[in-house]
Amino acid sequence: KAGVTQTPRYLIKTRGQQVTLSCSPISGHRSVSWYQQTPGQGLQFLFEYFSETQRNKGNFPGRFSGRQFSNSRSEMNVSTLELGDSALYLCASSAGLAGGEQYFGPGTRLTVT
C-alpha cells in the first residue's frame, strides 16, 4: 500500500505570495491532518479534515487554510507569506473517525525569502 505523498517536496516563495501544498493520504484513509515543523516551535498542529469537513483547527492565523476533496486528497493554502512561514509542512493520514495512529508523509519544505 502506498504511503502518504506530498507535493511539491521543496518550494521557494517570496514574501507576500501565496502557496498551495498538496497531500494524498493512504488509500482508504479519510482523515488528513496538517502540521508545521520549525526548529523553534517544533511540530504544531494546523488543521484536520475528515470526509471533506474541517474537524479540528490549531492556533494559526486565518492566512492558513485547507480543504479536502471527495477522494480524501487535501490541500493547504498559505496566503500573504511571511518569512516566519518558512517550515516543513507535514501531512498525516489516519483511517478512523477517532484519529489515533497517524501516518506522515515526507513533508514539503517551504522557504520564504
Partner 1 sequence: GESVGLHLPTLSVQEGDNSIINCAYSNSASDYFIWYKQESGKGPQFIIDIRSNMDKRQGQRVTVLLNKTVKHLSLQIAATQPGDSAVYFCAETSPFSGNTPLVFGKGTRLSVIA
DSSP one-letter code for 25: P
Residue 23 near residue 88 (C-beta atoms within 8 A): no
CB of 46 to partner 1, least distance (A): 9
Q: Is the peptide bond before 8 cis (omega within 30 degrees of 0)?
A: yes
- Closest approach of partner 1 to the CB of residue 80, in Å: 24
d(C-alpha 112, C-alpha 102), whole Å: 28
Which residues contact partner 1 by CB under 8 A?
4, 31, 33, 35, 37, 39, 42-45, 48, 55-56, 58, 88, 90, 92, 94, 96, 98-107, 109
- In terms of CB distance, is 16 or 53 closer to partner 1? 53
